[in-house]
Chain A
Amino acid sequence: MHLRKNDSIQRTLALLVTASLLYIPANLYPVMYTDALGSNEASTIMGGVVLLINLGSAPVALVIFVFSVMVPSAKLMALFYLVWTVERHSALDPRQRSRLFRIVEFIGKWSMVDIFVVTILVALVQLGGLLVILPGVAAISFAGVVVITIIAAESFDSRLIWDNMEDKDSVN
């Protein structure tokens, strides 16, 4: 038996708004800079995906695209949608909404892939003046988005989806 989470909707909503705001710089600013023989090149998250396609590794590009572009935005939208339906006491198929929430919970941490890639590249690629990779500001905001959305999903109480079903079932 678990206690209900306090102020679930308010907390989730506040965290979601924070994450959405952080999501803007996370996509606009570069996540890393590549310094190759004096020429400096900045790349955003989307830029990284394009680079991978140009390198001919479409499957890896797809992995990054799914986890760093699709998952975070889909997650934000899904959580906003869930909060909205709960607030409206919607009776829309609760089973489907429960499943949606479980997917959101499960997939959350996979968005950290890009941050880990930057971590590895920054540490590994230190070849004097030849080739150096440096982290960019978007790394902080993107990591923030991932962590905050995980906490948002954590503070959302999925039992709220079922509460008004029970109200409707038991009209006694």
Chain B
Amino acid sequence: MGNEIACQSCDLLVSVAATKHGESASCPRCGCFLTKRHDDALRRVLAFASIGLMFLVFASSYPFLSLSSSGVESAITLIQAPFALWSKGMPEVAVLVTAFIIVIPATVLMMMLTLCILINRGRYHSSLLPLAKGIFMGQKWSMVEVFLIAVIVAMVKIAAMATVTIGISFWAYAAFAICFTLATSNLDRYQCWQKIELLAIK
């Protein structure tokens, strides 16, 4: 089987045979990133994805932020945040927000787990292709890091009016965001397809 990739961004055929472990390759014509060989990629993805999911469960079960002003207090959990938008007459935005910050990232991590386990078994499985496609599609729509920045901005905005306290869930969500980023950056598109191809022709 060949070691040539068609660059995703300009369709130039590039040979990546000389890429060693730990090295990355980009397209000589347009400069687009092509592939990076990670050591132990699948094991790392498996580890980060499973820890990330645990952090997410943790993040959704404790208070995320709380607020107090002149003796009145209110606290929210992660899931309550989009729900408030729903009850204030904006179900569309609530659905989008829930999808971008919880549902899609969680689904991506679960698909990564399944993919790693299936590849590790060393046999071809018909769900490998849709899984890989789903993972790379879902990564584009995951906005965990954006949400973290938004939390900080929101805190600055209300700090003048009331006292905000960060709950334990916030830290769990931050850890989830880190695991998510590490898992996605270790799963290289080209390496992943190549592994699936190897299993398919075996």
Contact = CB atoms under 8 A, between A and B. Distances in A.
Contact of A140 (B92, B147, B158): B92
Interface residues of B, number: 53
Given A109-B143, A113-B149, A117-B150, A162 B29 contact: yes
B88 A134 contact: yes
Interface string A133-171: 011000110010001001000100011011000000000
Interface string A96-108: 0011011000000
Contacts, number: 150
A88 interface: no
A36 B162 CA distance: 11
Give the size range of A's interface with the partner: 35 or more
A63 interface: yes
Given A113-B146, A140-B93, A102 B10 contact: no
A127 B71 CA distance: 10
Describe A's contact surface by its main secondary structure.
helix
B74 interface: yes
A117 B6 contact: no
Interface of B: 6, 8-12, 29-32, 65-67, 69-70, 72, 74, 76, 80-85, 88-90, 92-94, 96-97, 100-101, 140-141, 143, 146-147, 149-154, 156-162, 164
Interface of A: 1-2, 36, 48, 51-52, 55, 57, 60, 63-64, 94-95, 98-99, 101-102, 109-110, 112-128, 130-131, 134-135, 139-140, 143, 147, 150, 154, 158-159, 161-162
